Amino acid sequence: MKNEILSQISTECPWRDTLLWYHSLDSTNTRAKALAKDGAAHGTVLVAKTQTGGRGRMGRSFLSPTGGVYLSVILRPDCPPKKLMHLTCATAVAGCKAVEQACGVYPDIKWTNDLVYSKKKLGGILTELVLDNHGVVDCAIIGIGINCEKPKGFPKELQETVTSISEISETPCTAAKLTAKLIEALYEISKTLIVGKQEMMDLYRQRCITLGQEIKVVCGDAVDYGTALDLDQDGGLLVRFRDGREKVVTSGEVSVRGMYGYL
Ligand code: BTN
């Protein structure tokens, strides 16, 4: 499969030379962190056909059967962590672009890290920063998983909220093709991560279906309800809560009414 991926990545993209392909890994993000610790270069790309311990946000697991794309990239940006707040947004924009190019369908984004189609989850993103002892970014790991084939063996409640490329696209699309387009799109985004932030956030805003919706915000033990108004320049979600307070939410779980079983 590695050759199938390589044959579909543009020769202009230098990350074709740093692609590592695995039949199975616990988690491409976990392995990427280990390789980064041993000095792996900026732009090292890890792709696994399946993951046995795929990880999602907030300590959740991410089921990763064969038939999906599971990919992580090691970035070594020379900047403080606060300049990278929008990294998940940038990865989501790249993910949407790759899906469009490979499969001809246009996913939406559920803030902050889900690719969705018809209100069902198509994929997810997990970005992780590794800081040195001085609080400087040693590396950032961007991980993305996209369901290509209809997931088999998912629990029933997940099957109702999850979708895949094969269910939504009439264009034949292999995991290899989507992986190739993803690597190209992530490479493009990485080149303008800081200078192209405004333009990228505009694209994110256009795709973000959370905006304007009634939402539930869960942060630790606290639960609150409100309306998602806008995004700030770093990708934080501006929310007007029921008591009229307006606040930027940067973490926690945001459920959108009418999606993923939240009524
Ligand atoms: C989420 O939905 O909360 C995020 C899911 C992120 C999954 C991807 S798959 C590739 C990379 N490796 C992981 O263990 N997680 C990310």
In a mutational test of the pocket of ligand 1, which residue from 55, 73, 127 has the highest number of ligand atoms less than 8 Å from its CB?
A: 55
Do 117 and 167 contact (CB within 8 A), yes or no?
A: no
Q: Of the candidates 227, 235, 168, which has an alpha carbon nearest to the alpha carbon of residue 207?
A: 235
Query: Which atom of ligand 1 has the smallest separation from the CA of 29?
Result: 12
- DSSP class per residue in 22-88: EEEES-HHHHHHHHHHTTPPTTEEEEEEEESS-B-GGG-B--B-BTEEEEEEEE--SS-GGGGTTHH
Does 28 contact ligand 1 (Cβ within 6 A)?
yes
pLDDT 10s digit of each residue in the chain, 263 long? 899 999 999 999 999 999 999 999 999 999 999 999 999 999 999 999 999 999 999 899 999 999 999 999 999 998 889 999 999 999 999 999 999 999 999 999 999 999 999 999 999 999 999 999 988 999 999 999 999 988 777 777 777 899 999 999 988 889 999 999 999 999 999 999 989 999 999 999 999 999 999 999 998 899 999 999 999 999 999 999 999 999 999 998 999 999 988 87
Q: Are strands 137-147 and 237-241 parallel, antiparallel or unpaired?
A: unpaired
Residue nearest to atom 15 of ligand 1 (CA): 55
What is the pTM assigned to this prediction?
0.96
Phi, psi dihedrals of residue 3, rounded to the nearest 5°: -65, -35
Q: Residue 61 C-alpha to ligand 1 middle, in angstroms?
A: 8
- Angstrom distance (rounded) from CA 253 to CA 222: 11
Centre of ligand 1 to C-alpha 87, Å, is: 14
Q: Which atom of ligand 1 is nearest to the CA of 144?
A: 8
Query: Are 45 and 35 contacting, i.e. CB atoms less than 8 angstroms apart?
Result: no
Q: What six digits make up the tokens of 52?
A: 């046995």
Distance, CA of 32 to CA of 54 (rounded, Å): 13
Residue 32, Cβ density class (10 Å: 0-12 exposed, 13-18 middle, ≥19 buried)? buried
